[in-house]
A = this chain, B = another copy of it.
Amino acid sequence: MAVDGDKKKLLQRLKRVEGQIRGIQRMIEEDQYCVDILIQVTAARAALDKVGLGLLEGHARGCLVQAIHEEHSDDAIAELMNILTRFVK
């Protein structure tokens, strides 16, 4: 059931995050200025948040709507809240 048509978009975003993580390693190896490195860490984290929100949206449009139509809404919402609680931190 998972992540449907936006799969390609999510994979592209993750490829980009992977590149950002590698860039951060290079910056550390080259002893670049720590504040500049931190800005890149913040950018990578924001990109990862977007991936998470994209996955949540795919989950809501797919699994959640289906579960509610099949009258499993209690379990589906408990699971959604569980993952949201982790995601919000």
Residues of A within 8 A of B (CB): 1-3, 7, 10-11, 14-15, 17-18, 21-22, 24-25, 28-29, 31-35, 37-39, 41-42, 44-46, 48-49, 51-53, 55-65, 68-69, 73, 77, 79-81, 83-89
Closest CB-CB distance, A8 to chain B, in whole Å? 10
How many of these chains are in the complex? 4
Are B15 and A18 in contact (CB-based, < 8 A)?
A: no
Give Cα A29–Cα B7 distance, bound, in whole angstroms: 8
User: What are the 5 closest A-B residue pairs judged by CB atoms, nearest first?
Assistant: A34-B59, A2-B31, A68-B68, A41-B52, A89-B89
Cβ–Cβ contact B86 & A88, under 8 A: no
Are B37 and A3 interface neighbours, CB within 8 A? yes
